[in-house]
Amino acid sequence: MARGTVVIDPGHGGTANVGGSDANHAVSTTRDEAVTRWREFLQKHLPANGEYEDGFQRDYVRAAQYELMRLEYLLGHDKEGDALLQQLEDVGGQ
């Protein structure tokens, strides 16, 4: 990654998005840092029972899953990226 490049991540705080996180205003300086933050975000906000509070939460969590998957592949973590790809609803047909 080029010097000074930032990677969008879920961050902490921000505006009134899921759990107070705001992906549009938070950045990481490395891809590894972004992966860590996306994983933490998903652990906190991915409903264990599959029941989302509303469509916004579902879309936000889903976007986080895609972003984490993209970063895993960019970092060469193919097994992790493949596992995330299989979890996504579009692939599972749910």
> Domain map of the chain by residue range?
7-88
Q: Note if the pTM is more than 0.85.
A: no
- Distance of alpha carbon 42 from the chain centroid: 6
Q: 10 Å Cβ neighbour count for 83?
A: 12
Average pLDDT, the chain: 77
Using pLDDT thresholds of 50, 70 and 90, give the confidence band for residue 78. very high
Token pair of 17 as six digits = 């998005």
Q: What is the pLDDT of residues 5-25, one digit of tens each?
A: 445 555 544 334 455 554 444
